Structure 1
Amino acid sequence: FGTMSENELLEICGSCEQSSTHPVAESIVSYCKDIKLDNPEKLTEIAGHGISAVLGGKNILCGNERLMKENNLTFPQADNIASTPVYIAVDGKVEGIIIVSDTVKNSSPSAIKQLKDMGLYTSMLTGDKPSNAEIIGNQLGIDYVKGGLLPDEKLKEINNIRKNKGAVMFTGDGINDAPVLAGADVGGAMHTGADLALEAADAVFMNSEPESVVKAKKIADTTLRISYENIIFALAIKAIVLILGMSGHPDMWLAVFADSGTAMLLILNSIRILNIKKYK
């Protein structure tokens, strides 16, 4: 709807988005792999909105509807409900729009099902359009879906979920997720995420597959169970030896077993955690 060609819009948007780790930005840059991209003279990533940059002496805005509205720019609405629109404005005029369709990873439905089978409450908090979020959430069978959220609004949602459901683990990878990763009881970031997200997270997943969260939960559950086993076993042995000593049956070897022997048994029991094959 502007005066620029498709290639010109892709070149401008790809040049601005190449420094971002947002999934939408990465999709656009990947699509522009055959186009020569330039480095902006100035660039600012605005959380929950998009990017403001100076490219070739021109003021560029690449982002969502919020960014356009805050800069008092008029733009047509995207027709595709199941998509994420990225508007491109040059020197105060919206020149075009790039539609990025959301796709679900093949492993996502299985990961969500496994989490729910563990008795966990699942939710999706995203800055994408609420209509997009509802469609993806319904496909995956997620319990609670909320779209159109800014970083501080995500944090409020996390606090509400914590009040109603208990401790919360949040997984994300964007700069917008950093406050929520820090505010959750456990924050997990994908290794391909923004540096700020990686620093705010308690754990970093070394791949971007949703089933990594399932695996981490299984390892955590096993670790907790073995910790309880070790505590109960150690206290039981100490109590038995103490009772035998008080009843007049002291024995040096019994004391050695209660101390060093028990420690060795607990270490051997803990080594079972290293058997990661069973978590796959």
Structure 2
Amino acid sequence: METMKAHDHNCSNEKGHEHDHDHGQSPVILFFIGLAIFSIAFFINKGSLVQNILFVSAMLLSGYHIMVEGIVDTMTESKKQRKFVPNVHILMTLAAFGATIIGNYEEAALLIIIFAAAHFLEEYAEDRSKREITNLLKLNPTEARLIQTDGTVKIVDVATLKVGDQLQVLNGDQIATDGIILSGQTSIDESSINGESIPREKTVGDEVFGSTINGSGTFTMEVTKDSSDTVFAKILQLVNQSQSNLSKTATKIQKLEPYYVTIVLIVVPIFIVAGPALFNWTWDESFYRGMVFLISASPCALAASAVPATLSGISNLAKRGVLFKGGSYLANLATIKSVAFDKTGTLTKGKPSVTDVYFLTELAQLSEQTCIDIIVAMEKTANHPLANAILSRFNAIADLTLTVENEIGKGLVAEYLDDTYQIGKPEIFGQVSIQINAYNEQYAKEGKTVVYFAKNNEVIGLIAMMDVPNENAKNVISYLKTQGIHTTMITGDAELTGQAVGRQIGIDEVVGNVLPENKAAIIKDQQVRFGNVAMLGDGVNDAPALVTADIGVAMGEGTDIAIDVADAVLMQNDLTKFSYAHKISKRLDRVVWQNILFSMLIVVLLITLNILGKMDITIGVIAHEGSTLLVILNGLRLLISSKD
């Protein structure tokens, strides 16, 4: 967990270079001591020596870390880059000392106190973001059942697993990491790996994958992947990435800031020298106006325009289970023109559900409920991949005990009251009735999987199943359409299956029979046709497409490689979180531009009023630093849930 405790990223008010932003408790304590001294100074005789000493003490204590960063960091970065690289902290330091020289002790202290307060407010946004992202780790399974040398089972942290360890996996468990089955057999939901909605049957020697879901069986496995490659480890690594990867706007401000500060440092002396000649000021007044100019022109608000807002947006989303690896990805989400979705496990639930049932009760000379009772009794004893879907749909009234055999080429076979009953794929049966054949053709065209139910080799019913749409898919597709965003479903299933799901959720385009290696090519085609493209997927087969897309979004219950290569992760496979993230991204874009325009307007206004002699240093300090606080607070609004 060390990566979460200490990491390098950019300073809040001066983003032109990197340094450790974690100042610890000392600067905060000194700030509040300085603030207290500043408050006490107001009750001392105005202009007295004691009051002035208190104001200077308040300035030095509250602004200690500001001054250190201003001088030390400027020297360090200048040495490192072999050119003068000043930061906004040094402007504030010079302005405070300049105000002190001309006897404006109160204003000097006020300037530093408000600037330091803004600095800590930015740190709050950053720490809040880091904390919310770290909390996402709790949403992932972190334990495994380790089989010890004496045969006992101990629950351990996934991070402690080593290659060669043996694990016990019970029914319904999420498999902790990759490995090989040593004993037992089961069916495993591997939709996050292979994109197939039908669970796979596994036995001794078969490979299993971390983050997939075990079915009804129990097995032991040997670990074949180090814990550093687990989903847990991958997400842990993202905590740093989300802090250091800034939006394009924030990055541009970072790059421009040293140049802007350098220009101000050059212009201020020229302004002071030219004052008497151009405006008939005295030298004292010119120096005074120069200090006001220095304060007014400092880009504090501009430097704070993007980063607090971006981190607040990341924090907002992290709290709701959406992890962005950096501000640039969140900012870019607002620019997408097309979204491509993997079908299985993304737009659909990732497991089959019974959609249609038909029984020829007259032919069978059985009631529909009796058929259901027999089917449930047979499926209860089976390890059939579709058994759970069937058992979830049907409720038996009579609790029958049958001897069931799973015969190759025949499916499930059981005897009941001297009759033989059978459940299997349509291909294993011969002649069927016109009604059964018609329904089978209809359901096949709809992309559904059909199994027959037969009595004494005569088909008397059928059950149709399919991987049904995610309950949120339709609403998300509808939202994207309102935003003018094209939607595409990419699936390895047959075109008919994809079209069936696509019609239900209202998607614009369906591309079926897609091989994993061709998904990236489809994304490239979408980029040519529409512009910026986002891709949502959850499996290994989605990884190339996630990388190719302008924004790759992995479903959190997907594979570690999908999460590793994606730009964002939906931690709970909730599609509504994607539409919510898009809303936050659009809000972020609006807020950042509001901040930039407002901050530059204030600078121009203050400089103009200063030249016209309508500005004193007190108003300049309050207006300039007040605008910085307003910009930061405007950015912090992104911590509030979006309602539009």
Pairwise same-fold verdict (TM > 0.5):
yes
3-state SS in 2 of match to 1:122: strand
Task: Report the alpha carbon displacement of residue 245 of structure 1 after superposing the two structures with TM.
Answer: 2.4
Task: Report the alpha carbon displacement of residue 229 of structure 1 after superposing the two structures with TM.
Answer: 0.8
Asked if 1 retains the 8 angstrom alpha-carbon contact of 2:580 and 2:642, the reply is: no
Identify which of 196, 208, 218 aligns with 1:24: 196
Asked if 1 retains the 8 angstrom alpha-carbon contact of 2:191 and 2:539, the reply is: no
Moved more, 248-257 or 175-184: 248-257
Q: How does 1:119-198 map to 2 (within 5 A)?
A: 119-198=484-563
Change (3 A) 1:137 1:33: same
Asked if 1 retains the 8 angstrom alpha-carbon contact of 2:193 and 2:541, the reply is: no
Change (3 A) 1:41 1:184: closer
CA–CA distance in 2 between the matches of 1:162 and 1:154? 13
* 1:242 and 2:242 aligned: no
Q: Deviations over 1:180-215 (max 9, x none)?
A: 111111111111111100000111112112111111
Identify which of 624, 633, 637 aligns with 1:268: 633
3-state SS in 2 of match to 1:253: helix
User: Equivalent residue for 2:187?
Assistant: 14
Task: Report the alpha carbon displacement of residue 126 of structure 1 after superposing the two structures with TM.
Answer: 1.8
Asked if 1 retains the 8 angstrom alpha-carbon contact of 2:193 and 2:558, the reply is: yes
User: Equivalent residue for 1:73?
Assistant: none
Change (3 A) 1:175 1:110: same
Output the amino acid matched with 1:24. E
Asked if 1 retains the 8 angstrom alpha-carbon contact of 2:190 and 2:213, the reply is: no
Change (3 A) 1:20 1:215: closer
**How many equivalent pairs are there?**
222
Identify which of 206, 215, 221 aligns with 1:33: 215
Output the amino acid matched with 2:527. R
Task: Report the alpha carbon displacement of residue 36 of structure 1 after superposing the two structures with TM.
Answer: 4.6
Task: Report the alpha carbon displacement of residue 122 of structure 1 after superposing the two structures with TM.
Answer: 0.9
Q: Deviations over 1:77-106 (max 9, x none)?
A: 997341479xxxxxxxxxxxxx97221122
Task: Report the alpha carbon displacement of residue 19 of structure 1 after superposing the two structures with TM.
Answer: 10
User: Equivalent residue for 2:578?
Assistant: 213
CA–CA distance in 2 between the matches of 1:121 and 1:184? 14
Q: How does 1:4-83 map to 2 (within 5 A)?
A: 14=187, 21-22=193-194, 24=196, 27-28=199-200, 33-36=215-218, 80-81=444-445, 82-83=447-448
CA–CA distance in 1 between the matches of 2:603 and 2:449? 62
Change (3 A) 1:114 1:27: farther
Structure with higher RCO (Cα < 8 A, 6+ apart): 2
CA–CA distance in 2 between the matches of 1:188 and 1:244? 49
3-state SS in 2 of match to 1:228: helix
CA–CA distance in 2 between the matches of 1:195 and 1:26? 21
Asked if 2 retains the 8 angstrom alpha-carbon contact of 1:20 and 1:26, the reply is: no
Asked if 2 retains the 8 angstrom alpha-carbon contact of 1:241 and 1:254, the reply is: no
User: Where do 5+ consecutive residues of structure 2 fail to align?
Assistant: 1-183, 202-211, 225-426, 429-439, 451-463
Q: How does 1:196-207 map to 2 (within 5 A)?
A: 196-207=561-572
CA–CA distance in 2 between the matches of 1:161 and 1:264? 42
Task: Report the alpha carbon displacement of residue 38 of structure 1 after superposing the two structures with TM.
Answer: 6.7
Change (3 A) 1:26 1:250: farther
Task: Report the alpha carbon displacement of residue 35 of structure 1 after superposing the two structures with TM.
Answer: 3.6
Task: Report the alpha carbon displacement of residue 21 of structure 1 after superposing the two structures with TM.
Answer: 3.6
CA–CA distance in 2 between the matches of 1:40 and 1:251? 75
Asked if 1 retains the 8 angstrom alpha-carbon contact of 2:526 and 2:533, the reply is: yes
What percentage of residue pairs aligned between the two structures are identical? 31
CA–CA distance in 2 between the matches of 1:176 and 1:197? 8
CA–CA distance in 2 between the matches of 1:170 and 1:269? 31
- Provide the alpha-carbon RMSD of the alignment: 3.3
CA–CA distance in 2 between the matches of 1:272 and 1:33? 44
Identify which of 451, 470, 478 aligns with 1:105: 470
CA–CA distance in 1 between the matches of 2:222 and 2:192? 13
User: Equivalent residue for 1:230?
Assistant: 595
3-state SS in 1 of match to 2:498: helix
Task: Report the alpha carbon displacement of residue 156 of structure 1 after superposing the two structures with TM.
Answer: 1.2
User: Equivalent residue for 2:66?
Assistant: none
Asked if 1 retains the 8 angstrom alpha-carbon contact of 2:186 and 2:214, the reply is: no
Change (3 A) 1:264 1:139: same
CA–CA distance in 2 between the matches of 1:164 and 1:107? 27
Asked if 2 retains the 8 angstrom alpha-carbon contact of 1:128 and 1:148, the reply is: yes
CA–CA distance in 2 between the matches of 1:259 and 1:31? 57
Output the amino acid matched with 1:106. E
Asked if 2 retains the 8 angstrom alpha-carbon contact of 1:21 and 1:192, the reply is: no
Change (3 A) 1:231 1:18: closer
